[in-house]
Structure formats: C-alpha cells, structure tokens
Amino acid sequence: MDKAEMARPDHLTAERALRTTSVTVAVLAALTLAAAVPAAPAFGPEDIINWESHSFEGTTDYRLVQTNGRTAVQATCTDGTASGLFYRRDIDLTETPVVEWEWRVEETLTGIDETTRDGDDYPARLYLVDEARLLRWRTRALNYVWSSTTERVGDWPNAFASQAHMIAVATASDAGAGWRTERRNVLEDFRGFHDHEPERVNAVAVMTDCDNTGQETRAWYGNIRFLPE
C-alpha cells in the first residue's frame, strides 16, 4: 500500500474494496455463463478429410482439393466402392438440433431404383447416427442424400437396413448447378421418420458410393455445422 492509500479515510478504502469485489464477481459470473454455453460443432473440409475412414466395400477416393477458389473434400467413386469418413463423437441435439452443410455434384447416376439393393448408391450423402451401443438393433440413422431419381424431400427406408431412413434433399435436376447449402432440423427428422427423439447423435459421416450400380460418380463436400434452432 502506498502513502496515498494509507492516508485515505477508511470509508473510501472500504468503498474501493467493495467496487473491486463487485467487478470480480461480475467477471467470474460472465466467464461461468460463457463456459456453460456449448460451442456449436463446426467442421471444415480440412477437418472432414481427417475423419475416420470406414469401408463397406473397397475405398472411395477422398482427397482435399481446391475447386472454384475454395477448399473441398473431393470424393471419387470409380471401382464399385463404398466407404465413408466418420466423426465419432457425441453432438448434443438439445443445444444444436439443426445441421447445415455444403455439397456439390456435377452428374448423378442413371437408370437406377434407389429403393432397391441394386440401386442403393448415391453421389453424396450425409449420415447422422443415434447409435445404441449395447442394443444394436435400436440404432437409428438419417441419410440425407443427393438422389439420382427421387423428387426433393422424397423419403424411404434404406434397402439394406430399415433403421436407416433415406431423405432426398437434392436431386438430378440440381446437379451441375454449383454448390448447394442444405439445412435440416435433425430432432424433427428423427421424430418424424423414426418416432424417436434422441438427445444426441453419436456419429456424423459423409459418403459417396457406387458398389451396387457399378457406375462412376463424384462429389464435393464443404463445411458442416450444427446450429441452435
């Protein structure tokens, strides 16, 4: 304490201490509130390319590229492959129930029926999985797909696993028109398509596959993020 502080009347010293304490409490409260609000999960192409690779049939070629002045994950399917890039951590849907993502497709597949096993291929898709780790048959998934045949917002059960529901958010008529940004309320979709409202999803994935049709296809994936309503 300096001489001026020593000479200050007691009531002024007490007043200064009270102000200092009040400011400290306010700052701590603000920091606590900030820590309590979870950051919305967001992933750029540089993140997605490093997600875990999971193969169903061979390995689709995923690589980080520059296209039209922007960074993207390019997915190329040429040899009857089906593999995806998976992010396997919980995402809280009670805080961020909306998913928004960017993708681009130049050409879709031809002459197929996507509701059958022989036609179950998509130039691009985004998976969201509510995984029941102990009771696997209770696992539920949403597949937002770039459809080659179905009209937008058509939907159907996956031909191989009814626990996965397919939702067409882009179609053949959208191909070749550049980047698209999609947005879906994940909680509403789980409720509507699975009669189920999970608090979280346990995995997010992108996938380009051509194992059932044997046709070639390519897609580009941009940013993926989860948002409040």
Cα–Cα–Cα angle for 150, 152, 205, nearest 5°? 90
**Whether residues 137 and 180 fall in one domain:** yes
Q: Count how many domains the chain has.
A: 2
Question: What pLDDT digit, counting tens, does each position of 9-30 carry?
Answer: 454 444 444 344 444 444 344 4
Burial (Cβ within 10 Å: 0-12, 13-18, ≥19) of residue 229: exposed
CB-CB contact of 114 with 123 (8 Å): no
Q: Is the pLDDT of residue 5 over 80?
A: no
pTM of the model: 0.81
Both 94 and 112 in a single domain? yes
Length of the chain: 229
Residues 195, 174 within the same domain: yes
14, 51: one domain? no
Are residues 14 and 110 part of one domain? no
CATH number at residue 221: 2.60.120.260
Query: How far is the C-alpha of 184 from the C-alpha of 107, rounded, in Å?
Result: 23
pLDDT of residue 28: 40
138 pLDDT tier (thresholds 50, 70, 90): low
Same domain, 97 and 125: yes
* Residue found by looking up tokens 């390319």 in the block: 49
Q: Are residues 98 and 180 in the same domain?
A: yes
Specify the 3-state DSSP secondary structure of 175.
coil
- Per the structure, the complete domain to which residue 82 belongs is given by 42-227
In angstroms, the CA 213 to CA 116 distance is 11
**Same-domain pairing of 32 and 47:** no
Long-range (24+ apart) CB contacts under 8 A made by 133-138 are 133/202, 137/163
Are 27 and 51 in the same domain? no
Rounded distance between C-alpha atoms, residue 112 and residue 110, angstroms: 6
Residues 146 and 178 in one domain: yes
Same domain assignment for residues 167 and 218? yes
Averaged pLDDT for residues 203-213 = 97
pLDDT digits 0-9 by tens, 159-205: 998 899 999 999 999 999 999 999 999 999 999 999 999 999 999 99
- With tokens 């159907």, the residue in question is 156
| DSSP H helical ranges for the chain | 3-7, 10-36, 45-48, 186-194
Shared-domain flag, residues 116 and 211: yes
Is residue 111 within 8 A of residue 212, CB to CB? The reply is: no
